């Protein structure tokens, strides 16, 4: 469903990808690994249209990401730091995002918060959240609208053990529902436990490890 064809990308003078050809199928969890600065976040940004490959094409469900189809449909993303409005509480933050497509109601938002381990009625402002809570909020916005493809850049950062377990269970459940999930993590355990296939970024290539 996602195909990279002859994709090359230089970023700040460094060649991250050189002539990469790879296809990702639907309904699997893909792990993307690599050393710091290897290009994991850049790959995710290319997949969701924020960044263009220098050469080559990226197709999602047969539609090339370019021009009017620059951004793919139905993607839930968590890239770099979670984006939030500090002066609002968690629910209001998610509500602001949900209003855009108007696909879900308040109950669904609350359910998403509960699923990631956040209390929906918490009146605390997000700027007062701990790092782990902010991370959970970021995951909640990525999953709440039933997005079929999830790009999660280090989703387990700052999460306690219970929360990690909760999110892992959630991701496996989504995979069984047929969603496609891409995730990065520096914890080998996360990769080993969750991922059906693993790709490693090294020396300009996206190498299929498992």
Partner 1 sequence: MVSRIGYALAWLQVTVFACIWMYYDQQEALGHGIFFNQWDLLTAVTMNTYLLIYDVLLLVLVLSIIRIRADLTENRLIRFRDSRSALLHSTGRFAKVWGTGLLLYGAVGYIFTLQAPSASVWSLAARTEQVFYVSKDSLFFDLPPLIAHLLQLGFLFTGGLLIHLLLGLVYLWTKRTKLLYLLASLLFLGTGLAFKIGLPSPFFLLSLAALLEYQAYAFWTGCVLVIGAGLLLLDRPIRLPQSGGAASLYLVCCVMIFLMQPVGQTYGDYLIAVFSGTASENFSFQPYLNHAVLFFGYTYLLTQRFERDVIQQGMYHIIRHQSLNRWFLRQFSRLIMTAVLTATGLVVLATGFAFIQGVKWTTEMESLLIRITTLLYHTVVNGSLQLIVYGLILFLVLYWTREAVQGMYWIGGAMVALLPLVRQDWMPVGLNGTVRLLDHSAVSITIQLVLTGLFVLTVIQLAFRRQIRTTY
Q: Which residues bind partner 1 (CB under 8 A)?
A: 45, 48, 50-52, 68, 70-73, 75, 77, 79-81, 83-87, 93, 96-97, 100-101, 141, 145
**Shortest Cβ 11–partner 1 spacing (Å):** 10
**Is 210 exposed, middle or buried, given 0-12, 13-18 or 19+ CB atoms closer than 10 A?**
exposed
Question: Of 17 and 84, which CB lies nearer to partner 1 in the complex structure?
Answer: 84
Pair 74, 147: CB distance under 8 Å = yes
Which of 123/176 has CB closer to partner 1?
A: 123
Q: Which is nearer to partner 1, 59 or 197 (CB)?
A: 59
Among 193, 196, 194, 191, residue whose Cα is nearest residue 33? 191
Neighbouring-strand partners of residue 182: 30, 151
Residue 20 beta carbon to partner 1: minimum distance, rounded to whole angstroms: 18
Q: For residues 191-205, b (16+ Cβ closer than 10 Å) or e, as one string?
A: beebbeebbbbeebb
77 conformational bin, left if phi > 0, alpha if psi -120 to 50, beta if neither: beta
Nearer to partner 1, 29 or 77 (CB): 77
Sheet holding 63-64, edge to edge: 14-24, 2-11, 55-60, 63-64
- In whole angstroms, the minimum distance from the beta carbon of 25 to partner 1 comes to 22
Q: What's the closest the beta carbon of residue 79 comes to partner 1, in angstroms?
A: 7
| Closer Cβ to partner 1, 81 or 208, answer by number | 81
Min dist. Cβ of residue 145 to partner 1 (A):
8
């Amino acid at each position: 469903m996602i195909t990279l064809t002859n994709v090359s990308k230089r970023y700040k003078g460094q060649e991250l990808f050189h002539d990469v050809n790879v296809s990702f199928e639907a309904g699997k969890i893909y792990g993307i690994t690599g050393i710091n600065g290897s290009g994991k976040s850049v790959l995710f940004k290319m997949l969701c249209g924020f960044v263009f490959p220098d050469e080559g094409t990226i197709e999602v469900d047969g539609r090339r990401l370019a021009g009017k189809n620059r951004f793919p449909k139905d993607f839930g993303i968590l890239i770099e730091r979670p984006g939030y409005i500090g002066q609002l509480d968690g629910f209001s933050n998610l509500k602001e995002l949900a209003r855009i497509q108007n696909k879900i109601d308040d109950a669904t938002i609350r359910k998403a918060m509960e699923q990631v381990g956040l209390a929906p009625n918490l009146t605390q402002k997000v700027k007062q959240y701990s790092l782990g809570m902010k991370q959970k909020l970021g995951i909640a916005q990525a999953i709440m609208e039933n997005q079929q493809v999830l790009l999660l850049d280090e989703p387990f950062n700052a999460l306690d053990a219970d929360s990690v377990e909760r999110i892992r269970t959630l991701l496996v459940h989504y995979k069984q529902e047929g969603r496609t999930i891409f995730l990065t993590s520096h914890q080998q355990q996360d990769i080993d436990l969750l991922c059906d296939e693993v790709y490693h970024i090294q020396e300009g290539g996206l190498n299929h490890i498992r």
